[in-house]
Amino acid sequence: MDLTSEYKEQIKEYIDIDDALKRVGGNMDLLKRLLKRFLEGNHIEPLEEALEKNDKDDASRLAHTLKGVAANLSLIKIRDISVDLEHHIKNDSSHSECMDELKKAFSSTVEYI
């Protein structure tokens, strides 16, 4: 990961690198491993399945977990969308737009990292 200020500016919508590094004690290798593990994980599919089954409890739990992990890794875009998604699930409102945004955010985040 190239940490020039230009690069940080380019990705700030997706990840706050400075905050993420603080969370791992400045250990860039650890941060890279954690981000890689998170982004290679299967987060979208189980969420989609729970939503398709109309399993509000499981979908809400998965969205909440995603929100927390994304927050701990300073993945701003994924965290923010997960907050909205969890809200929509709990309030029985349409969540399809949030899921589309979440998929796009994952793709973009993977590209930048």
Asked if residues 102 and 62 have their Cβ atoms less than 8 Å apart, the reply is no
Side chain identity at 10, as an amino acid letter?
Q
Average pLDDT over residues 62-87: 96
Domain ranges of the chain: 5-112
Task: Give the tens place of pLDDT for each residue, 4-55.
Answer: 778 777 788 899 999 999 999 999 999 999 999 998 888 999 999 999 999 9
Asked if residues 89 and 63 have their Cβ atoms less than 8 Å apart, the reply is yes
Distance set, CA 104 to CA 14, 78, 99 (Å): 11, 9, 9
Rounded to an integer, what is the distance from CA 63 to the centroid of its chain?
Answer: 10
Task: Indicate the DSSP class of residue 13.
Answer: T
Average pLDDT over residues 98-104: 94
pTM above the 0.75 mark? yes
CATH code given to domain 5-112: 1.20.120.160
